[in-house]
Amino acid sequence: MSNPAVHLNKATFTISAPDIRRLPEDVGIEVAFAGRSNAGKSSALNTLTNQRGLARVSKTPGRTQLINIFEVAENKRLVDLPGYGFAKVPLEMKKKWQKALGEYLEKRECLQGLVVLMDIRHPLKDLDRDLIEWAADSELSILVLLTKSDKLSQGKASAEVLKVKKNLAPLNADITVQAFSSLKKTGMEQANNIICNWLVKADALESEI
Ligand SMILES: Nc1nc2c(ncn2[C@@H]2O[C@H](COP(=O)(O)OP(=O)(O)O)[C@@H](O)[C@H]2O)c(=O)[nH]1
Ligand SMILES: [Mg+2]
Protein backbone atom coordinates (compact mmCIF):
# COMPACT_ATOMS: atom_id res chain seq x y z
CA MET A 1 0.00 0.00 0.00
CA SER A 2 1.34 3.37 -0.85
CA ASN A 3 1.18 6.18 1.64
CA PRO A 4 -1.90 8.35 1.09
CA ALA A 5 -0.27 11.54 2.36
CA VAL A 6 2.43 11.90 -0.31
CA HIS A 7 2.70 10.69 -3.88
CA LEU A 8 6.09 10.62 -5.52
CA ASN A 9 4.48 10.92 -8.95
CA LYS A 10 3.59 14.49 -8.01
CA ALA A 11 7.28 15.40 -8.17
CA THR A 12 8.15 18.41 -10.29
CA PHE A 13 11.58 19.79 -11.08
CA THR A 14 12.38 22.85 -8.99
CA ILE A 15 16.00 23.83 -9.52
CA SER A 16 19.54 22.66 -10.36
CA ALA A 17 22.18 24.13 -8.09
CA PRO A 18 25.97 23.97 -8.36
CA ASP A 19 26.34 24.31 -4.58
CA ILE A 20 24.19 24.37 -1.45
CA ARG A 21 23.94 28.16 -1.29
CA ARG A 22 21.76 28.07 -4.39
CA LEU A 23 19.26 25.57 -2.93
CA PRO A 24 15.74 26.33 -1.64
CA GLU A 25 15.57 27.38 2.00
CA ASP A 26 16.65 24.60 4.36
CA VAL A 27 13.18 23.83 5.75
CA GLY A 28 10.84 20.85 5.46
CA ILE A 29 12.02 17.37 4.53
CA GLU A 30 14.41 16.10 1.91
CA VAL A 31 15.20 12.56 0.82
CA ALA A 32 18.43 12.48 -1.16
CA PHE A 33 19.63 10.00 -3.78
CA ALA A 34 23.35 9.32 -3.94
CA GLY A 35 25.54 6.88 -5.78
CA ARG A 36 28.45 6.40 -8.13
CA SER A 37 28.07 7.86 -11.58
CA ASN A 38 26.16 5.42 -13.75
CA ALA A 39 24.71 3.53 -10.75
CA GLY A 40 21.20 4.17 -12.08
CA LYS A 41 20.25 7.13 -9.90
CA SER A 42 18.38 9.16 -12.52
CA SER A 43 16.61 6.05 -13.83
CA ALA A 44 15.50 5.16 -10.29
CA LEU A 45 14.16 8.68 -9.74
CA ASN A 46 12.21 8.48 -12.99
CA THR A 47 10.84 5.04 -12.08
CA LEU A 48 9.87 5.99 -8.53
CA THR A 49 8.13 9.17 -9.66
CA ASN A 50 6.64 7.41 -12.67
CA GLN A 51 7.92 10.20 -14.92
CA ARG A 52 10.15 9.18 -17.78
CA GLY A 53 12.05 12.39 -18.27
CA LEU A 54 12.13 13.84 -14.76
CA ALA A 55 15.79 13.24 -13.99
CA ARG A 56 17.83 13.09 -17.14
CA VAL A 57 19.09 9.56 -17.77
CA SER A 58 22.54 9.84 -19.18
CA LYS A 59 24.41 7.31 -21.24
CA THR A 60 27.54 9.34 -20.58
CA PRO A 61 28.58 8.78 -16.99
CA GLY A 62 29.76 11.74 -14.94
CA ARG A 63 27.40 14.28 -16.44
CA THR A 64 25.15 14.89 -13.44
CA GLN A 65 27.25 17.44 -11.65
CA LEU A 66 24.52 19.50 -10.11
CA ILE A 67 22.25 19.10 -7.12
CA ASN A 68 18.80 18.64 -8.67
CA ILE A 69 15.73 19.33 -6.59
CA PHE A 70 12.26 17.88 -7.19
CA GLU A 71 9.32 19.00 -5.11
CA VAL A 72 6.81 16.29 -4.19
CA ALA A 73 4.58 18.45 -1.98
CA GLU A 74 5.03 21.68 -0.11
CA ASN A 75 8.35 21.46 1.72
CA LYS A 76 8.87 17.82 0.73
CA ARG A 77 11.62 17.28 -1.79
CA LEU A 78 13.60 14.58 -3.54
CA VAL A 79 17.22 15.45 -4.23
CA ASP A 80 19.42 14.04 -6.99
CA LEU A 81 22.98 14.49 -5.73
CA PRO A 82 26.07 14.64 -7.95
CA GLY A 83 27.39 11.17 -8.75
CA TYR A 84 30.79 10.24 -7.39
CA GLY A 85 33.64 7.98 -8.37
CA PHE A 86 33.77 8.50 -12.09
CA ALA A 87 37.39 8.40 -13.17
CA LYS A 88 37.32 10.11 -16.57
CA VAL A 89 36.64 13.62 -15.29
CA PRO A 90 39.27 16.32 -14.79
CA LEU A 91 40.36 16.46 -11.16
CA GLU A 92 39.34 20.11 -10.70
CA MET A 93 35.79 19.38 -11.83
CA LYS A 94 35.63 16.31 -9.65
CA LYS A 95 36.76 18.28 -6.61
CA LYS A 96 34.05 20.84 -7.18
CA TRP A 97 31.22 18.31 -7.39
CA GLN A 98 32.50 16.30 -4.48
CA LYS A 99 32.57 19.48 -2.47
CA ALA A 100 28.91 20.17 -3.30
CA LEU A 101 28.03 16.61 -2.36
CA GLY A 102 29.99 16.72 0.92
CA GLU A 103 28.55 20.08 1.87
CA TYR A 104 25.02 19.00 1.15
CA LEU A 105 25.35 15.87 3.27
CA GLU A 106 27.07 17.64 6.12
CA LYS A 107 25.07 20.84 6.34
CA ARG A 108 21.56 20.24 5.06
CA GLU A 109 19.32 20.18 8.15
CA CYS A 110 16.19 19.01 6.32
CA LEU A 111 17.88 15.82 5.07
CA GLN A 112 15.78 13.03 6.58
CA GLY A 113 16.79 9.91 4.69
CA LEU A 114 19.42 8.83 2.21
CA VAL A 115 18.88 6.47 -0.70
CA VAL A 116 22.21 4.93 -1.73
CA LEU A 117 22.24 3.32 -5.15
CA MET A 118 24.80 0.72 -6.15
CA ASP A 119 24.97 -1.50 -9.21
CA ILE A 120 24.06 -4.97 -7.90
CA ARG A 121 27.04 -6.38 -9.81
CA HIS A 122 29.55 -4.04 -8.11
CA PRO A 123 28.26 -3.01 -4.67
CA LEU A 124 30.13 -1.46 -1.75
CA LYS A 125 33.07 0.22 -3.43
CA ASP A 126 35.19 2.36 -1.09
CA LEU A 127 33.25 5.58 -1.71
CA ASP A 128 29.91 3.77 -1.22
CA ARG A 129 31.13 2.41 2.06
CA ASP A 130 32.40 5.82 3.20
CA LEU A 131 29.03 7.35 2.40
CA ILE A 132 27.02 4.63 4.17
CA GLU A 133 29.28 4.72 7.24
CA TRP A 134 29.02 8.49 7.40
CA ALA A 135 25.20 8.36 7.09
CA ALA A 136 25.02 5.67 9.78
CA ASP A 137 27.18 7.77 12.10
CA SER A 138 24.92 10.74 11.40
CA GLU A 139 21.89 8.61 12.37
CA LEU A 140 20.24 9.09 9.01
CA SER A 141 17.80 6.45 7.78
CA ILE A 142 19.33 4.64 4.83
CA LEU A 143 17.77 2.76 1.93
CA VAL A 144 20.27 0.81 -0.15
CA LEU A 145 18.99 0.02 -3.63
CA LEU A 146 20.99 -2.60 -5.51
CA THR A 147 20.23 -1.40 -9.00
CA LYS A 148 20.00 -3.09 -12.40
CA SER A 149 18.93 -6.32 -10.68
CA ASP A 150 17.51 -7.42 -14.05
CA LYS A 151 21.13 -8.11 -15.03
CA LEU A 152 21.24 -11.06 -12.58
CA SER A 153 19.07 -14.13 -12.10
CA GLN A 154 16.66 -13.84 -9.19
CA GLY A 155 18.71 -16.30 -7.15
CA LYS A 156 21.93 -14.40 -7.69
CA ALA A 157 20.23 -11.09 -6.95
CA SER A 158 18.85 -12.41 -3.64
CA ALA A 159 22.27 -13.75 -2.69
CA GLU A 160 23.80 -10.34 -3.42
CA VAL A 161 21.19 -8.57 -1.24
CA LEU A 162 21.98 -10.95 1.62
CA LYS A 163 25.71 -10.39 1.23
CA VAL A 164 25.34 -6.62 1.37
CA LYS A 165 22.97 -6.86 4.37
CA LYS A 166 25.49 -9.01 6.27
CA ASN A 167 28.29 -6.66 5.36
CA LEU A 168 26.42 -3.64 6.72
CA ALA A 169 24.92 -5.31 9.80
CA PRO A 170 27.87 -4.40 12.08
CA LEU A 171 27.05 -0.70 11.54
CA ASN A 172 23.94 -1.25 13.65
CA ALA A 173 22.08 1.44 11.77
CA ASP A 174 18.62 1.95 10.27
CA ILE A 175 19.49 0.40 6.89
CA THR A 176 17.19 -1.39 4.47
CA VAL A 177 18.79 -3.23 1.56
CA GLN A 178 16.81 -4.34 -1.48
CA ALA A 179 17.17 -5.29 -5.12
CA PHE A 180 15.91 -2.72 -7.61
CA SER A 181 15.42 -2.55 -11.35
CA SER A 182 14.16 0.49 -13.17
CA LEU A 183 13.80 -1.63 -16.27
CA LYS A 184 11.58 -4.28 -14.66
CA LYS A 185 10.25 -2.10 -11.81
CA THR A 186 11.55 -4.61 -9.28
CA GLY A 187 11.44 -3.30 -5.71
CA MET A 188 9.65 -0.15 -6.76
CA GLU A 189 6.71 -0.46 -4.37
CA GLN A 190 8.87 -1.22 -1.31
CA ALA A 191 11.24 1.65 -2.07
CA ASN A 192 8.31 3.97 -2.68
CA ASN A 193 6.79 3.07 0.70
CA ILE A 194 9.99 3.67 2.62
CA ILE A 195 10.62 7.03 0.96
CA CYS A 196 7.02 8.20 1.48
CA ASN A 197 7.21 7.18 5.13
CA TRP A 198 10.32 9.28 5.59
CA LEU A 199 8.59 12.22 3.94
CA VAL A 200 5.65 12.02 6.37
CA LYS A 201 7.43 10.72 9.48
CA ALA A 202 9.13 14.02 10.04
CA ASP A 203 5.70 15.74 10.05
CA ALA A 204 4.67 13.55 12.96
CA LEU A 205 7.89 14.42 14.79
CA GLU A 206 7.43 18.12 14.15
CA SER A 207 3.86 18.11 15.46
CA GLU A 208 5.09 16.47 18.69
CA ILE A 209 7.35 19.40 19.44
N1 LIG B 1 19.52 -2.99 -17.38
C2 LIG B 1 19.30 -1.88 -16.67
N3 LIG B 1 19.97 -0.74 -16.98
C4 LIG B 1 19.76 0.35 -16.22
C5 LIG B 1 18.86 0.34 -15.12
N6 LIG B 1 18.89 1.57 -14.55
C7 LIG B 1 19.75 2.32 -15.28
N8 LIG B 1 20.29 1.60 -16.29
C9 LIG B 1 21.25 2.09 -17.30
O10 LIG B 1 22.44 2.50 -16.67
C11 LIG B 1 22.97 3.69 -17.26
C12 LIG B 1 23.10 4.80 -16.21
O13 LIG B 1 21.83 5.15 -15.72
P14 LIG B 1 21.54 6.56 -15.04
O15 LIG B 1 20.18 6.45 -14.45
O16 LIG B 1 21.81 7.69 -15.98
O17 LIG B 1 22.65 6.57 -13.88
P18 LIG B 1 23.16 7.76 -12.93
O19 LIG B 1 24.46 8.26 -13.51
O20 LIG B 1 23.40 7.11 -11.61
O21 LIG B 1 22.10 8.80 -12.87
C22 LIG B 1 22.00 4.07 -18.38
O23 LIG B 1 22.51 3.59 -19.59
C24 LIG B 1 20.72 3.34 -18.00
O25 LIG B 1 19.92 3.03 -19.11
C26 LIG B 1 18.15 -0.90 -14.84
O27 LIG B 1 17.35 -1.01 -13.90
N28 LIG B 1 18.42 -1.96 -15.63
MG1 LIG C 1 22.12 10.78 -13.24
Question: CATH number, domain at 105?
Answer: 3.40.50.300
Give domain status of residue 3, yes or no.
Answer: no
Give domain status of residue 21, yes or no.
Answer: yes
Give domain status of residue 32, yes or no.
Answer: yes
User: Which amino acids bring their CB within 6 angstroms of ligand 1?
Assistant: 35, 37-43, 57-59, 61, 64, 83, 147-148, 150-151, 181-183
Query: From residue 75, how far is each of 89, 110, 140 by CA, in Å?
Result: 34, 9, 19
The pTM (predicted TM-score) of the whole model is 0.92
From the CA of 66, how far away is ligand 2's center (Å)?
10
Indicate left, alpha or beta for 185 from its phi (over 0: left) and psi (-120 to 50: alpha). left
Residue 209 in this model has a pLDDT that exceeds 90 = no
The preferred substitution site among 43, 120, 186 for testing ligand 1, maximizing ligand atoms within 8 Å of CB, is 43
Mean pLDDT of 152-168: 98
Give domain status of residue 69, yes or no.
Answer: yes
Q: Please give the residue that has the higher pLDDT: either 154 or 96.
A: 154
Work out whether the CA dihedral 138, 98, 11, 14 comes out positive or negative: positive
Give domain status of residue 2, yes or no.
Answer: no
From the CA of 207, how far away is ligand 2's center (Å)?
35
Give the total number of structural domains in the chain.
1
Give domain status of residue 200, yes or no.
Answer: yes
Q: Please give the residue that has the higher pLDDT: either 205 or 176.
A: 176
The whole domain housing 90 covers 8-208
Q: Which ligand is nearest to the CA of 182?
A: 1
Mean pLDDT of 47-58: 86
Give domain status of residue 1, yes or no.
Answer: no
Give domain status of residue 201, yes or no.
Answer: yes
pLDDT attached to residue 104: 93
Per the DSSP assignment, residues forming a β-bridge with 142 are 114, 175
From the CA of 208, how far away is ligand 1's center (Å)?
40
Q: What average pLDDT does the structure give for the chain?
A: 89
